[in-house]
Structure 1
Amino acid sequence: TGKALIFAAVRREDWELEGRDTELYRFDFETGEIEPLTRRYGPDESPALSPDGRQLAWLGFDDELMSYTNTEVWTLSLAGGEPNRLTADLDRNVDALVWAEDGRSLYISYSDRGVGVIDRLSLDGSRTRVAEHLGGTTLGRPYASGSFDAGDKQVVYTKTASGHPADLFRIDRHGRETRLTTLNRELLDNRELARLEPVTWPSSHDGLEIQGWIAYPPEYREDQKYPLILEIHGGPFADYGPRFSMEVQLMASAGYVVLYTNPRGSTSYGANFANQIHHAYPGHDYDDLISGVELLVERGIADPNRLYVTGGSGGGVLTAWIVGKTDRFAAAVVVKPVINWISFALSADLTPFFHKYWFPAPPWEAPEHYWQRSPLSRVGNVTTPTMIMTGEADWRTPMWESEQFYQALKLRGIDTMLVRIPEAPHGIAARPSQLVTKVRHILAWFERTVPKTAPGGA
């Protein structure tokens, strides 16, 4: 009716410490009164009114202080009543919602086993698949992403595949799909891209099934073994999938087989899979990753003497952890990592969050727990030539994390280099020039390294 505004906010007095505890409110333009619509501990956000203005839908969850919790869809009649949880049987994290025109259902998006999907969600909680392979609004690494909208009995969304960035597609009310754009045809028609193959394997730790993707160089031959790059995603609560990735394509075009995976802790496989690393990160995600590498060696795809590893943010944590546990890799590039969980928990931009959800207690109460999970605790084992790369304006994984690792490696006489990216925040490859430069540095570090002749593990 235009007489009120519904918004999400943290209005509690200790908002600096409880920034995640948002509630929904209704602001009356005539009276100036603010009425709370939700009252629970946990985030409530992304409110959306039904077309008739009678119902409210939003995203949120009951916060039980787990490292990971699925975001769910809730509805509420503005005439009164209790919130209704629509996705109780959907063990996935809902990213976005849009009301259908009839007001009797919503369109929702989420990632399922590394694939972005759109479902139609009825108000009774039943779901119907509308589209798959939503994504493509990130280009660097093959993360979940994408955008969609609904109206006039159709859904328009960004669709991606390993061979092309996002284009716009339309799904009509009969389920017919129409491609609306071919934005990169002139570029892609003149390029031979990496072929992508899905793969699964059991983790050496407990047999848990792990999913990954192999990107083959454009001129791959089955009678040859290739240098392998293990590329690890960040988060750690995120997921990779069969999506277009400039970084993967650049690495493959340089002659490398690239393996990227979703180890335990990744999203899109359910809350239990993600919380396998609850208060235990890094941990057995290491075994998941190494098992994938060994599979490619056993299949004769990867040259065991030319194995390389890199990853950013959470992937940087795991890369630094890996070189502290094994000398299996000929070289490593650690990108924007956490090296010391104690210094990180007390200085990163989300200080109130990390110690509360990722650890059993603050650093001063459980220092040994923080230290045992810190890659710095294993730096005495490192023999692998290791480059470190971080933006100088990164407050998520601050530069002093990288500096600690670099100085420790230098003191031990390990071949190392610290690359400082001027003015770059946590998204160090946000600009195309930065993305290309990042990959060039990674490949240059790998190419200068003498292959190992007797790899082993610890």
Structure 2
Amino acid sequence: MWRHPLWSEGSEHLFFSFDDKGDTVLAMTDLEGRLVRLAEGLGGTSLGRPYAGSAFAVGGGDVFAYTAGDTSRPADIAAGRPGHDAPARLTALNENFLAHRELARVEERWITSSADGEEIQAWVALPPGFDPGRKYPLILEIHGGPFTNYGDRFSTEIQLYAAAGYVVLYVNPRGSTSYGERFGNLIHHAYPGKDYDDLISAVDAVIDEGYVDTDALFVTGGSGGGVLTAWIVGKTDRFRAAVVAKPVINWASFVLTADNSPYFTRYWFPALPWEDPEGYWARSPLSLVGNVSTPTMLLTGEADLRTPISETEQYYQALKLRGIDTAMVRIPGAYHSITKRPSQMAAKVAAILAWFEQHSATE
């Protein structure tokens, strides 16, 4: 999917960005349709989780500038010109803060899904001072969307979890963008589904590397990641604790209370909820709550219009009725972007780490 197309000064070239396997690329095409990739590694403007987030501009002589980031730094400004040397980074905005700190090293992985052999891209953030001879607790952190992607981009939340001593695994399961139409549509009218197997296969692959404590597995995710986190604890008891952030729990109630009901009912389901109640229920994490034994905290903004807090309240009440250890964190005045302010991001991470610590193997 092309984003933010801009014409060159003489309207001879069209510049645009797109995502390719978890990386954001700047490219241009001429009037004959010839495509040139100009720069990779655009990003750095989405600070919380490692989502795509970038900007670029085009000036005279086809000079282009863009936000350049990687897993160790948020956005700096880089610039280049087609047909000349490689783009150069012009700023180092965070060096006085980050240069003297040891950050998590983030490594790419490719995983084969147990569901059907689909190849799945993932990343592992290793804690500062990582020792492969030790055993570390692991956090599986799941992206939302579901039609979006994570990548090798800076993430405050991932870095904070790693700084607390966790190996952090994040994955682009089927349905994620940047792998083409076929891969994205694998979850069409089938979400959640085999994306669960993609995530669990990634966990198993990292465990096989030998440095993860299998008695200290944790899972969290927000929005679509909250859906999958709730789905996971309904399917397995492998995780010691979970944090479900701003989830959908009951698809029927969601499509009748969320802010974009016509879209969700038209594209995410083959029928309206009263026409196919069984189909909606079969894909609802609430249908699996009878299986849950994992201590599960919920975390949602009280003003969330996308995944209304009534979804969180349903799951919380269901867990309480079952006698499962649970807690509900309500963020006053917060919409779907529950970490819009730095203080909210800090509070979110602190709450998640406190819940995991409370339910750690050494509790």
TM-score by length of 2: 0.98
Paired residues of 1:108 and 1:120 also in contact (CA < 8 A) = yes
Q: Does residue 1:162 correspond to 2:64, yes or no?
A: no
1:240 alignment partner AA: Y
State how far apart, in whole Å, the 1-side matches of 2:27 and 2:345 are. Answer: 33
Paired residues of 1:136 and 1:145 also in contact (CA < 8 A) = yes
1:346 corresponds to which of 251, 256, 262:
256
State how far apart, in whole Å, the 1-side matches of 2:31 and 2:276 are. Answer: 45
Map 1:237-386 onto structure 2 (within 5 A): 237-386=147-296
State how far apart, in whole Å, the 1-side matches of 2:88 and 2:304 are. Answer: 41
Residue aligned with 1:410, SS? helix
Paired residues of 2:21 and 2:178 also in contact (CA < 8 A) = yes
Instruction: Report the Cα offset of residue 117 of structure 1.
Output: 0.3
2:95 corresponds to which of 185, 195, 201:
185
State how far apart, in whole Å, the 2-side matches of 1:234 and 1:320 are. Answer: 13
Residue aligned with 1:324, SS? helix
Q: Percent identity?
A: 60
Instruction: Report the Cα offset of residue 345 of structure 1.
Output: 0.5
Paired residues of 2:102 and 2:128 also in contact (CA < 8 A) = yes
In structure 1, the residue matched to 2:306 is 396
1:115 corresponds to which of 6, 23, 26:
23
Map 1:405-444 onto structure 2 (within 5 A): 405-444=315-354
2:113 corresponds to which of 190, 203, 209:
203
Instruction: Report the Cα offset of residue 96 of structure 1.
Output: 1.5
1:110 alignment partner AA: F
Instruction: Report the Cα offset of residue 450 of structure 1.
Output: 4.2
CA RMSD after TM alignment: 1.2
Paired residues of 1:96 and 1:110 also in contact (CA < 8 A) = no
State how far apart, in whole Å, the 2-side matches of 1:415 and 1:95 are. Answer: 44
1:169 alignment partner AA: A
Paired residues of 2:8 and 2:60 also in contact (CA < 8 A) = no
State how far apart, in whole Å, the 2-side matches of 1:175 and 1:237 are. Answer: 35
Question: Which blocks of at least 5 consecutive residues in structure 2 are unaligned?
Answer: none
State how far apart, in whole Å, the 2-side matches of 1:410 and 1:451 are. Answer: 23
Paired residues of 2:241 and 2:296 also in contact (CA < 8 A) = yes
State how far apart, in whole Å, the 2-side matches of 1:303 and 1:111 are. Answer: 34
Paired residues of 2:220 and 2:245 also in contact (CA < 8 A) = yes
State how far apart, in whole Å, the 2-side matches of 1:175 and 1:262 are. Answer: 33
Based on CA coordinates, which of the two structures has the bigger radius of gyration?
1
Cα displacement string for residues 6-32 of structure 1 (whole angstroms, at most 9, x for unaligned residues) = xxxxxxxxxxxxxxxxxxxxxxxxxxx
2:189 alignment partner AA: H
State how far apart, in whole Å, the 1-side matches of 2:118 and 2:260 are. Answer: 31
Instruction: Report the Cα offset of residue 292 of structure 1.
Output: 0.3
Paired residues of 2:68 and 2:89 also in contact (CA < 8 A) = no
Instruction: Report the Cα offset of residue 122 of structure 1.
Output: 1.8
More displaced 10-residue stretch of structure 1: 252-261 or 124-133:
124-133
Paired residues of 2:22 and 2:150 also in contact (CA < 8 A) = yes
Question: Which blocks of at least 5 consecutive residues in structure 1 are unaligned?
Answer: 1-92, 453-458
| Greater RCO structure (CA 8 Å; 6+ sep) | 2
Residue aligned with 2:235, SS? coil
In structure 1, the residue matched to 2:50 is 142
Residue aligned with 1:346, SS? helix
1:152 alignment partner AA: G
Paired residues of 2:2 and 2:16 also in contact (CA < 8 A) = yes
When you count helix as a share of all residues, which structure comes out higher?
A: 2
Instruction: Report the Cα offset of residue 144 of structure 1.
Output: 0.6
Instruction: Report the Cα offset of residue 191 of structure 1.
Output: 1.0
1:228 corresponds to which of 124, 138, 155:
138
Cα displacement string for residues 67-118 of structure 1 (whole angstroms, at most 9, x for unaligned residues) = xxxxxxxxxxxxxxxxxxxxxxxxxx11211111231220110110000001
Paired residues of 1:156 and 1:168 also in contact (CA < 8 A) = yes
Instruction: Report the Cα offset of residue 297 of structure 1.
Output: 1.0
2:129 corresponds to which of 219, 228, 242:
219
State how far apart, in whole Å, the 2-side matches of 1:207 and 1:123 are. Answer: 40
2:197 alignment partner AA: D
TM-score by length of 1: 0.78
Residue aligned with 1:197, SS? strand
State how far apart, in whole Å, the 1-side matches of 2:102 and 2:360 are. Answer: 29
Paired residues of 1:100 and 1:107 also in contact (CA < 8 A) = yes
